[in-house]
Structure 1
Amino acid sequence: MKPTRIPYGPQKNKDEQVKVSYRHISTHEDASFAIKEYCQPRFTNTFHFHHGYEVILIVKSAGHVYVGNKVMNYHAGEIFMFGPGLVHCFSSDNLPRGAGEVAHAIVLQFTDDFMGKDFFDTLELRKVKELLQQSVYGIKFNNKLPSLSTLFFGFRPNQQMRNLILLLQILEELSLRSKESALLLTDDTRKTHYKESDSKKLASIFNYVFENYHHHVDIRAAASLACMSEAAFCRYFKRNTHKTFSQFVNEIRISHATRLLIGKENNITDICYACGFDNVSYFNRQFKIHQGMTPREYRKVFIESNAGSPFLRPTD
């Protein structure tokens, strides 16, 4: 079963709106689960959800991941798991990239009955079942699991039994490490599952913010994408995301700022403007609200925590 090199999400023209869509989990030939590999210059802003489960290894890339109603950074080497119905989207950094660089991910997809209706109810798989139950909130496993990551590269074409064993081994490893290296990404499933009709409407709004957060974001433009008046849009956005539009925009900007702060080449003022803020004092206040510390303190914590270890990062 050869991993398929296909774009991460549909290709789009510059002026096309990105859509949120339900994606049927495809398989190859008679396989009971899917193995996919995505390689392209950057991950596209495609919001979607599945009927089944998805496990993703980020081989190479960095940027923002939107899960349910939360946004955070992601880094190479991290593993994500999403349960049925959980809307998610990976967006690569809009930082300058070197020639020939690609965003690379390996994705495993399966349904809860791909091995039979009661397969995960067996005693031997009780921890895996707990993992599946937790995945409805979204799970991120940190990037200190290189031995686990290597399992993703063990899949081979036309070796269905080997591939099945590898999938079960990955699920077992994730279930055993869930307490020590996993982070639940959302805290309330009522806030993380959208109706498909609402998801499609929100998709163009989210994409607009992702594409423009580093400079001007106009709430009137966002409202027009939803075909609403500004007042109606504000109520609609708050009802569906449980945050105001300005809170969402600031969350994206602060998330981007944390990535810029881990480098030494930019000063705080430059980072403020690079993330779309036009006032340093406001930037500092918003950063402390979201991160619990000032930008300067955040950079200091990162430098101290990474002394001698290139893998540790501040908590997003």
Structure 2
Amino acid sequence: MAMKIFCENTPLTDNDCFVIFSREKSCFDFPLHTHKELELNLVLNGAGASRVIGNHMGTIGDAELVFVNGETPHAWFTDGCRSQRIQEVTLQFAPDLIDDKLLNRNSLTALKRLFEESRRGVLFTEQTALEVAPALRRIYERGSAGGMQPLLDVLAVFNTLSFASERKLLSDLTFVQEKDMSYSQRLETVFAYMNRNFSRQISLRDVAETVNMSEVSFSRFIKKATGQNFIDTLAEIRLGHVSRMLIDTDMTIAEIAFCCGFNNMANFNRIFKRKKGMPPHRFRTLYINKKIYV
């Protein structure tokens, strides 16, 4: 039976700029889900709980702030959290609240980049989470107030977040739609080639030739575009396909590894554990246990 993820219908209407919730609870009880809105989620006093964003899984600390495009599967789970007073503030808004024409203006370059990164899920530092927490509480308190001030407060929060240099992208490149992550036609071509050929051995020269670049120039290009060298970028793309197959198929781990271009199981297991923080069999078990059937 194919496993699907719960699709949430949020209360946001076409006439709303955003919707915000604030709650105190003792556990996380919402399943792994998607929705069309972008979401900023703040969790305080939830140390030991776990987050799932795309094919990323991790344990959270005392202050957690994540920005995620709702189309990427996401959820938080109680797991090792023992707090009886978890505080959570969730802000959701439609992708067209700030349209592409405005995002393409020079002064909004940093914000555009943040919105693009949200498909992979963006984790901010605890310091940043604590910095914006009071502003999010004020937005919640003013939520029903008239005028533009609540919206201006939201924009101020995202202005702060767009310039937060210490942030981490969570899900792999290939677990989300790369076309939305591409910053140029050239990068889109590169991703398309690597996704078509990830199952076979491909070289730096092979990929560089698809965009008519020398190997040296291409190495600089891919490093600037992804923050990683070619080998690590290719490995991440392959791991994205591995993760999807671990979740969606009954193939053995060895079969999946070889199908995704890993010809050495010891090397595959080492890379997977380094990237995911756990071996592939544990990833498969944990992820599937957090899914629901619909």
Common fold, TM-score beyond 0.5? yes
Partner of 2:145: 158
Instruction: Give the TM-score of the pair, scaled to structure 1.
Output: 0.52
Change (3 A) 1:46 1:38: farther
Change (3 A) 1:137 1:233: closer
Residue from 134, 142, 148 that aligns with 2:132: 148
Partner of 1:58: 43
Q: Does 1:38 align with 2:23?
A: yes
Partner of 1:131: 114
Q: Does 1:92 align with 2:78?
A: yes
Partner of 1:170: 157
Percent sequence identity over matched residues?
18
Given that 1:113 and 1:119 are in contact with CA atoms closer than 8 Å, whether structure 2 keeps it comes out as no
Matches within 5 A, 1:240-259: 246-248=281-283
Change (3 A) 1:93 1:160: farther
Range with greater deviation from structure 2 (73-82 or 129-138) = 73-82
Q: Which SS does the other structure have where 2:127 is aligned?
A: coil
Residue from 172, 178, 181 that aligns with 1:187: 172
Given that 1:68 and 1:86 are in contact with CA atoms closer than 8 Å, whether structure 2 keeps it comes out as yes
> Would you tell me which structure has more helix in proportion to its own residues?
2
Change (3 A) 1:170 1:49: same
RMSD: 3.2
Given that 2:46 and 2:81 are in contact with CA atoms closer than 8 Å, whether structure 1 keeps it comes out as no
Change (3 A) 1:245 1:184: closer
Residue from 74, 77, 92 that aligns with 2:60: 74
Displacement of 1:149 in angstroms is: 2.0
Change (3 A) 1:70 1:147: closer
Q: How many residues align?
A: 190
Displacement of 1:50 in angstroms is: 2.0
Displacement of 1:73 in angstroms is: 0.9
**Amino acid paired to 1:27:** L
Structure 2 stretches lacking a partner, 5+ long? 178-247, 261-271, 273-278, 288-294
Distance 2:12 2:147 in 1: 12
Distance 1:95 1:115 in 2: 36
Displacement of 1:34 in angstroms is: 1.2
Change (3 A) 1:163 1:246: same
Given that 1:78 and 1:142 are in contact with CA atoms closer than 8 Å, whether structure 2 keeps it comes out as yes
Structure 1 stretches lacking a partner, 5+ long? 1-17, 194-231, 253-316
Given that 2:45 and 2:62 are in contact with CA atoms closer than 8 Å, whether structure 1 keeps it comes out as yes
**Amino acid paired to 1:235:** M
Given that 2:56 and 2:172 are in contact with CA atoms closer than 8 Å, whether structure 1 keeps it comes out as no
Change (3 A) 1:174 1:19: same
Distance 2:94 2:123 in 1: 19
Partner of 1:111: 94
Distance 1:24 1:251 in 2: 26
Q: Does 1:234 align with 2:256?
A: no
Distance 2:175 2:146 in 1: 40
